[in-house]
């Protein structure tokens, strides 16, 4: 046989290697397909329940009154106005007379409220439900479709600052408690209701901190805390037709980093090659360009593993076989801002300052960069990453404030099942999964007084609703508020 028809040894080895790779790939794909076909739903089966008797229209009226009181946490804590909070306290007393007659109430840190409701079983571990009464400022009321503190009803919604974040939850909790008291229902466990007044101060608030300290000093060891979190998402998960509620096992950490450039000033007619503003702008551009890498490590992997069986199409194959397709899923999620925040530490340049006049060289330029830290990353690591990205000794890089990711709670704990069951009892169409809350909440302050700390907001949100948090046209669907009340009622009645 001639050499022209006989494969050379290196070609034979290459052919055998290629066939081996293809065979291995075929085996892996086969295993993945079988795994997808045999993966079963992880959703809890629920039965019908007896709803609490609540007059929905009157409940909306009480929530409307709450929205009209501008309990604002200002940008500068020195500008805090206590009068609206005093009015809000009075509103709660008028609106929920049984709660205020039968529950123990304390005012903590001047304006926060803590209630204690003795349960039927004094030996059972208590539960803690939290919400906050303060709201963020409104920069320009004129751009709202409806005035932010008018609580107008239109197009099937109640419009106003605080409907979503977080007076809706606070009032729904109290509505459920009032209805239970009126019906003569005592919760099986002792229930603490902790309503902070300064959650929106982002790190300087004292209400939740002091309430948690009080509970700890009194030896309270709660089974779980439930605070605000991600709403019940509609259309935000690809290849999933049903709404998805992600119960936060933890929340992202945060790090606000300051970039400062200081140079000699002078007249703009004789500028240096780069002004302080130019140096800062280049540094900011590098920080934005050097995003931290994405990763499925942490609670979001549990989200995908739980929702995967409910998906359809190719993504179901990917989500139910993350052992094989994690890199593909990570790249797909990083492609869109609404999902990228789930798998990476985010970088947001939020403040930039510099210069006083067009013909004066700036002596100082400053920027603030806010990071929301993903599970697996740390404040220390984020600061080091920013310094490496800036890579300019003329730019001072300083950590202003930072918090690492709080302790991650257990999705297998009975408390998680209690919340998931209550949610599906009220909304049987909703899929429930564990995950990571991408914002921050008072919940992190309670990790020392509860075995498990969870985060969830029990109203539905679409992609269009996401910017309403802290943004324009915050609103709550009128037909969803009744479900929120029943949800908290089911939580408080759970054994």
- Beta strands at 450-455 and 222-227: parallel, antiparallel or unpaired: parallel
The β-bridge partners of 244 are 233, 431
Active site residues: 134, 199
The reported pLDDT for the residue numbered 75 is 86
In what helix (H) or strand (E) does residue 421 lie, and over which residues does it extend? helix 414-426
DSSP element (H, E) containing 209: helix 207-217
- Averaged pLDDT for residues 22-34: 68
For strand 157-159 and strand 153-154, is the pairing parallel, antiparallel, or unpaired? antiparallel
pLDDT digits 0-9 by tens, 467-487: 999 999 999 999 999 999 999
Please report the pLDDT score of residue 22 as a whole number.
Answer: 66
Percent of the chain with pLDDT over 70: 95
pLDDT band at 28 (very low <50, low <70, confident <90, very high): low
Show the domains of the chain with their CATH numbers.
Answer: 56-248+406-493 (3.40.630.10), 252-403 (3.30.70.360)
pLDDT band for position 6 (50/70/90)?
low
Across residues 262-289, what is the average pLDDT? 95
Residue 380: φ, ψ to 5°: -60, -40
How many Å apart are CA 329 and CA 99, to the nearest integer? 48
Q: Is the peptide bond before 166 cis (omega within 30 degrees of 0)?
A: yes
CB 136 within 8 A of CB 161: yes
Alpha carbon 402 to its chain centroid, in Å, reads 17
Q: How large is the average pLDDT for residues 75-83?
A: 92
CB atoms within 10 A of CB 189: 23
Higher pLDDT, 172 or 438: 172
pLDDT 10s digits, 339-369: 888 899 999 999 999 999 999 999 999 999 9
CA end-to-end span of the chain, whole Å? Answer: 83
Q: Are 52 and 425 in contact (CB under 8 A)?
A: no
The span from the CA of 88 to the CA of 92, in Å, is 6
pLDDT digits 0-9 by tens, 83-136 = 999 999 999 999 999 999 999 999 999 999 999 999 999 999 999 999 999 999
Alpha-carbon gap, residue 227 to 216, rounded angstroms: 18
For the chain, give the number of residues.
495
Q: Check residue 349 and give its pLDDT.
A: 97
pLDDT over 50 at 1, yes or no: no
pLDDT band at 328 (very low <50, low <70, confident <90, very high): confident
Distance, in Å, from the CA atom of 455 to the CA atom of 448, rounded to the nearest integer, reads 16
Would you say 256 and 334 are in contact if contact means Cβ atoms under 8 Å apart?
A: no
pLDDT at position 112: 98
Q: Of residues 334 and 258, which shows the higher confidence score?
A: 258
* Sign, Cα dihedral of 405, 409, 412, 418: negative
What is the overall mean pLDDT for the chain?
A: 93
Q: DSSP labels for 33-100?
A: HHHHHH----PPP----------HHHHHHHHHHHHHS--B--SSGGG---HHHHHHHHHHHHH-HHHH
In the predicted structure, residue 39 carries a pLDDT above the cut 90: no
CA distance 334 to 311: 19
Looking at residue 138, what is its pLDDT? 97
Name which residue leads in pLDDT, 330 or 21: 330
How confident is the model at residue 342, as a pLDDT? 87
- Percentage of residues in the chain having pLDDT higher than 90: 81
Give the DSSP H/E element, type plus range, for residue 487.
helix 478-493
Q: What is the rounded CA–CA span in Å between residue 246 and residue 298?
A: 14
The pLDDT of residue 325 = 87
Q: Summarize pLDDT for 184-222 with one digit per residue, the tens.
A: 999 999 999 999 999 999 777 899 999 999 999 999 999
């Amino acid at each position: 046989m001639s050499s022209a028809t006989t494969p050379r040894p290196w070609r034979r080895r290459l052919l055998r290697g290629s066939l081996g790779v293809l065979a291995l790939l075929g085996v892996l794909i086969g295993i993945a397909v079988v795994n997808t076909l045999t993966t079963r739903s992880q959703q809890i089966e629920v039965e019908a329940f007896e709803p609490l008797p609540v007059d929905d229209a009157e409940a909306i009226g009480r929530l409307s009154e709450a929205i009209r009181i501008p309990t604002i946490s200002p940008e500068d804590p020195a500008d805090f106005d206590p009068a609206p909070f005093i009015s809000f306290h009075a509103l709660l007393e008028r609106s929920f007379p049984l709660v205020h007659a039968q529950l123990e109430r304390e005012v903590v840190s001047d304006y926060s409220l803590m209630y204690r409701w003795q349960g039927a079983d004094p030996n059972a571990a208590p539960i803690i439900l939290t919400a906050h009464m303060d709201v963020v400022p409104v920069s320009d009321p004129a751009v709202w479709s409806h005035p932010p503190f008018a609580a107008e009803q239109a197009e099937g919604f109640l419009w106003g600052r605080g409907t979503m974040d977080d007076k809706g939850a606070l009032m729904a909790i109290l509505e459920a408690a009032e209805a239970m008291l009126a019906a003569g229902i005592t919760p099986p466990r002792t229930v603490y209701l902790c309503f902070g007044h300064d959650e929106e101060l982002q790190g300087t608030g004292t209400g939740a901190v002091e309430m948690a300290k009080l509970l700890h000093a009194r030896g309270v060891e709660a089974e779980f805390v439930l605070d605000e979190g991600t709403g019940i998402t509609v259309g935000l998960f690809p290849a999933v037709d049903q709404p998805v509620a992600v119960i936060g096992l933890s929340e992202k950490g945060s790090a606000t980093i300051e970039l400062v450039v200081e140079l000699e000033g002078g007249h703009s007619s004789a500028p240096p090659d780069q002004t302080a503003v130019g140096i800062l702008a280049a540094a900011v551009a590098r920080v934005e360009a050097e995003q931290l890498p994405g990763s499925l490590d942490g609670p979001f992997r549990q989200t995908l593993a739980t929702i995967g069986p409910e998906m359809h199409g190719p993504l179901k194959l990917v989500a139910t076989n993350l052992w094989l397709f994690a890199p593909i899923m990570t790249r797909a999620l990083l492609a869109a801002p609404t999902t990228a925040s789930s798998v990476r530490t985010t970088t947001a340049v939020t403040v930039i300052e510099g210069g006083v006049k067009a013909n004066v060289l700036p002596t100082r330029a400053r920027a603030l960069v806010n990071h929301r830290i993903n599970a697996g990353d740390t404040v220390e690591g984020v600061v080091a990453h920013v310094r490496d990205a800036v890579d300019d000794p003329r730019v001072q890089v300083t950590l202003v404030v930072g918090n690492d990711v709080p302790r991650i709670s257990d999705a297998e704990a009975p408390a998680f099942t209690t919340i998931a069951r209550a949610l599906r009892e009220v909304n049987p169409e909703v899929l429930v999964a564990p995950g990571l809350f991408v914002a921050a909440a008072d919940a992190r302050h309670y990790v020392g007084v509860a075995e498990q700390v969870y985060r969830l907001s029990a109203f539905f949100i679409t992609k269009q609703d996401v910017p309403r948090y802290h943004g324009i046209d915050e609103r709550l669907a009128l037909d969803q508020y009744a479900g929120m009340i029943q949800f908290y009622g089911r939580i408080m009645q759970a054994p």
